[in-house]
Amino acid sequence: MKIPFQDYELEITNEPTHKVGSADNTFIYDFVYRDKDAIDYQSSKHAIKIFQEEKLIKSAIVCAVGGSTTIHGNSAVVIDDNLYIACADKVLSLTLPDLKLRWKLQADQATCFGIYKAENGLFSHGELSATRDRKSVV
């Protein structure tokens, strides 16, 4: 998945072979954001890379335990200077372009399938529920 943002391009991919803390990973991310319970096992791992003029400037990986998710057209959305991304049963908010974690919340008890921007807030569609957050959209 590729998302344009100002003069950057965000590239978001699945990273199923990444192991948190392993020296054998094929790529070292600037930031690793994971559940406190996701030390030995993560059901979903999504990589975010930010490019400017085709040069990699920042990277992060989000890892979570919950229902397994994959990257598709509704996995992430950019609003203002924030990236919102669904990973397992969570939604995470990262600042752009520096990829600092703003917040992380459990959006569904099982799996968060997608995230959407609407006039009256940010919505997530999960396996068991739909969630709306008006505060995150400024």
The model carries a pTM of 0.89
Rg of the chain over all Cα atoms, to the nearest angstrom = 14
Longest dimension (CA), the chain: 44
Average pLDDT, the chain: 88
* pLDDT, tens digit, 9 for 90 and up, residues 15-60: 999 888 889 999 999 999 998 776 667 789 999 999 999 999 999 9
Helix, strand, or coil (residue 56): strand
Looking at residue 47, what is its pLDDT? 98
Alpha-carbon span 19 to 84, nearest angstrom? 23
Alpha-carbon span 16 to 45, nearest angstrom? 6
